[in-house]
């Protein structure tokens, strides 16, 4: 059975089928805090990490901007 989806700003959609790809829970979890001089440096790090690592899969990224006066 299809479901009607109504969202903000007048969005209207019909959901007829959804497919989810479920991943198993990781055996271990860790948190890593890093500091980068520029956003581009952080982007390069994440891209390289994902390219060379077969077992590290970042699930969440949080950015904190520090203003220096």
Q: List per-residue pLDDT tens for the chain, 69 residues long.
A: 577 777 777 788 888 887 888 878 878 878 888 888 888 998 898 888 888 876 676 667 777 777 666
In this prediction, residue 33 carries a pLDDT of 84
In this prediction, residue 3 carries a pLDDT of 77
Distance from chain centroid for Cα 16: 26
In this prediction, residue 58 carries a pLDDT of 63
| The residue to which tokens 């990781």 are assigned | 26
Tokens of 9: 């700003």
């Amino acid at each position: 059975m299809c479901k009607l989806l109504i969202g903000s700003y007048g969005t209207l959609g019909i959901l007829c089928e959804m497919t989810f790809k479920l991943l198993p829970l990781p055996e271990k979890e860790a948190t890593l805090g890093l500091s980068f001089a520029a956003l581009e440096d952080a982007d390069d790090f994440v891209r390289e990490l994902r390219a060379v690592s077969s077992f590290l899969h970042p699930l969440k990224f949080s950015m904190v901007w520090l203003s220096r006066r």
